[in-house]
């Protein structure tokens, strides 16, 4: 890949990253609105959002591979026709993938909603203070129902991304941000005769917006002349064999994403033991890092889709150049953002910390942004590598590497640094960074090994 390769990657990754940023803007608006209700609301709401993101991420992971399966089918169809359009066989396969994915999404969302409600009930048993637990529970219950439209939306989104038309959701999601802000105010303060729900209203607003976004995007896809012929929403006509294929492909991704989200959730639970101010600061710093992380998700998914399409066309040798360009773009962006964390930390934290509410946590959050620099580099790198492996059809190696990096290295490091070394909340973030860095190293070794294996296979064939 040359400059044209950079442009191709950016053209696919930028809309995906834009959608990711717009999606995260929903929870960022939520956190900013919670800041108006005081430190306990920021601590509890941030905890609820983080645990919701844990479940949401695993649900999304179960259907993320749909984009790769669609891209591979489309690439193979294009290879058969010798044009830029898939043949009828590929279209039939894509329609079957979409129907089956919607069934998998429904079952996944049902399980996720049950787990989220269970976690809400278990908060007092996990060391959270009664006031924080009660506020977080109400918000988590309100968020649970929104998992269904969210996962359905991601199936449709992966369908569009796999066919290299990712931009159609961006405008819809941007409108949803404004709708979310209005709903937040309405449900928090009881505008227009609605009940005054406080923290719980933030969760309900997010659920309402998820249904709104799904309805608008589904209508948009129906009107897209390139996508409409391959749209089939009849989940009840799902092919059992295709459902099993999606589950085999998606389950490792689900648990890979789950491991990634879980280590952050565990870190947040540990931070809660050091008081509301430390927890609130950690929530805000983590939300900022999470916003930037969405750009890496865009690069990860974009490079993954390009690689899946190349594999479908019989060109796996493009993998090294796709990887090089994705990582170069990621590290450049991280350098720019890191400069902002160091030079203007208060300006970057300002949207989440208001007046006297923020003074108690501002200094702590500013310091945590320095830890966030290390987190973003290692976490972003490992996410891109997971996407590249997925593009090669390998969804298992990502799970294996994260299990070792997070659970054998990261979690023990958090406990040791926080309690054995006595570093408190700083130790939790130190262990978090160590876990992400270890995972990135393991994934880099695995990806390099996959390239060597592919090169040897091509050499044997030739």
- Per-residue pLDDT of the chain in tens (462 residues, 90 and over written 9): 456 678 888 887 877 777 777 677 777 788 778 877 877 888 888 788 878 888 988 898 899 889 899 988 888 888 887 776 788 888 999 999 999 999 999 999 999 999 999 999 998 887 778 888 888 999 999 999 999 999 999 899 899 888 888 765 667 777 888 888 888 888 888 887 788 888 888 889 989 988 988 888 888 888 888 888 898 888 888 999 999 999 998 999 898 888 887 788 788 888 888 877 788 888 888 878 877 888 898 899 889 998 888 888 778 788 888 999 999 999 999 999 889 888 888 788 877 665 555 566 778 888 889 898 999 899 999 999 999 999 888 889 889 999 999 999 999 999 999 999 989 889 999 999 999 999 999 999 999 888 776 555 445 444
Read off the DSSP letter of residue 1. Answer: -
Q: What is the pLDDT of residue 243?
A: 94
Specify the pTM.
0.79
Of 73, 98, 65, 107, the residue nearest 237 (C-alpha): 98
Backbone φ and ψ for 241, nearest 5 degrees, come out as -65, -40
Euclidean distance between CA atoms 173 and 25, whole angstroms: 9
Residues 6+ apart with CB under 8 A from 196: 188, 189, 190
Euclidean distance between CA atoms 451 and 317, whole angstroms: 8
Q: What is the pLDDT of residue 439?
A: 94
Contact predicate 208/163, CB 8 Å: no
Q: What is the pLDDT of residue 197?
A: 85
Contact predicate 175/215, CB 8 Å: no
Contact predicate 19/166, CB 8 Å: yes
Q: What is the pLDDT of residue 431?
A: 94
| End-to-end alpha carbon distance in the chain | 23
Euclidean distance between CA atoms 384 and 275, whole angstroms: 34
CA count, 13 A, side-chain hemisphere, 208: 16
């Amino acid at each position: 890949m040359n400059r044209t390769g950079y442009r191709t990657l950016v053209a696919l990754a930028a809309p995906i990253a834009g959608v990711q940023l717009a999606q995260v803007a929903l929870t960022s608006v939520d956190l900013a609105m919670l800041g108006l209700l005081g430190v306990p609301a920021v601590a509890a709401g941030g905890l609820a959002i983080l645990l919701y993101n844990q479940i949401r991420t695993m649900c999304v992971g179960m259907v993320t591979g749909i984009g790769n399966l669609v891209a591979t089918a489309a690439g193979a169809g294009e290879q058969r026709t010798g044009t830029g359009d898939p043949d009828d066989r590929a279209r039939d396969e894509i329609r079957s993938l979409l129907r089956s994915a919607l069934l998998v999404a429904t079952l996944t969302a049902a399980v996720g909603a049950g787990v989220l409600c269970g976690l809400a009930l278990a908060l007092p048993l996990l060391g959270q203070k009664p006031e924080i637990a009660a506020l977080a529970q109400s918000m988590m219950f309100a968020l649970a129902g929104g998992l269904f439209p969210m996962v359905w939306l991601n199936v449709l989104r992966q369908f569009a991304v796999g066919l290299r038309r990712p931009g159609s959701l961006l405008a819809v999601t941007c409108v949803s941000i404004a709708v979310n802000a209005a709903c937040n105010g309405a449900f928090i303060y009881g505008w227009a005769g609605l009940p005054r729900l406080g923290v719980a209203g933030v969760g309900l607003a997010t659920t309402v917006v998820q249904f709104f976004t799904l309805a608008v995007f589904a209508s948009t896809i129906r009107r897209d002349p390139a996508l409409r012929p391959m749209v089939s929403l009849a989940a009840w006509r799902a092919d059992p064999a295709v459902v099993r294929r999606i589950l085999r492909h998606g389950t490792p991704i689900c648990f890979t994403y789950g491991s990634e989200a879980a280590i952050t959730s565990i870190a947040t639970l540990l931070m809660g033991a050091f008081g509301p101010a430390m927890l609130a600061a950690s929530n805000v710093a983590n939300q900022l890092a999470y916003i930037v992380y969405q750009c890496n998700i865009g690069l990860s998914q974009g490079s993954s889709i390009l690689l899946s399409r190349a594999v479908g066309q019989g060109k796996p040798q493009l993998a090294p150049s796709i990887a090089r360009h994705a990582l170069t773009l990621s590290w450049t962006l991280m350098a720019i953002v890191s400069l902002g964390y160091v030079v203007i930390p208060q300006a970057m934290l300002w949207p989440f910390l208001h007046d006297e509410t923020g003074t108690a946590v501002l200094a702590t959050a500013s310091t945590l942004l320095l830890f966030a620099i290390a987190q973003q580099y290692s976490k972003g790198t490992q996410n891109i590598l997971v996407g590249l492996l997925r593009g090669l059809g390998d969804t298992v190696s990502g799970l294996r590497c994260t299990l070792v990096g997070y659970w054998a290295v990261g979690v023990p490091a958090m406990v040791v640094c926080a309690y054995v070394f006595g570093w408190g909340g700083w130790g939790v973030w130190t262990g978090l960074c160590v876990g992400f860095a270890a995972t990135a190293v393991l994934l880099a070794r695995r990806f390099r090994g996959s390239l060597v294996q592919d090169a040897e296979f091509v050499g044997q064939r030739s």
